[in-house]
Structure 1
Amino acid sequence: MDHEVFCVIFLDIKHQALAFEMMFHGDIGHTSVHPRQVLKRAIAHNASAVILAHNHPSGCTTPSEADCVLTQRLRKALALIDVTLLDHIIVGAGDPLSMNQHRLT
């Protein structure tokens, strides 16, 4: 895509997908993500875990400082309602980057 899109996969207790939602749309270099909305949807789906994903239109999958801060902020917020953040995937050119595999979550 030529603009950033932030998505969430909502999972049940066995980590089976309950829903996939494209929640926020941005411009070529930024998307505003509102944790309150992510929490509301997690509760609505009765999710016990989530996987976050967003794209980098530049093609570079290296997480920005803002990506890392957002991931930690969402992890803490979701923990308040007993929802585990399993990973944050960044999609660009080539292979997607798993922030969890790179120990960035």
Structure 2
Amino acid sequence: MRFHVTLTEALRQLQKSDDDFAVLFEHGSMRGIIFGPDELDAQEPHIQDEIYLVMRGGGEFVMEDKIVTVGMGDFLFVPAGAEHHFRNFTPDLLLWVIFYGQEGGEKE
């Protein structure tokens, strides 16, 4: 079972991806992702709970009616179904994302 992903490997997978994220690890209902939003973060709510860990960069994070400034090392929790996105972020914003809970991934 895979249990270790280096940042170098994660960045390589992100560069190869056609999206602004790459799935790095899956186990049961959990997925580990690297996410580097482009100029606009147009996420839709997800059906799983989600954790963000800011690896580099910063900006603002909006969840429902709350706005916080985020930077390297910050932890964010987003409950399933919550509207959320990053805005006014630096071009180097990079995040680990962990989805878990109810299986099924994102809303279409």
TM-score, normalised by the number of residues in structure 1: 0.29
Q: Identify the structure with the greater strand proportion.
A: 2
Q: Identify the structure with the greater helix proportion.
A: 1
Q: Which has the higher contact order (CA 8 A, sep 6+)?
A: 2
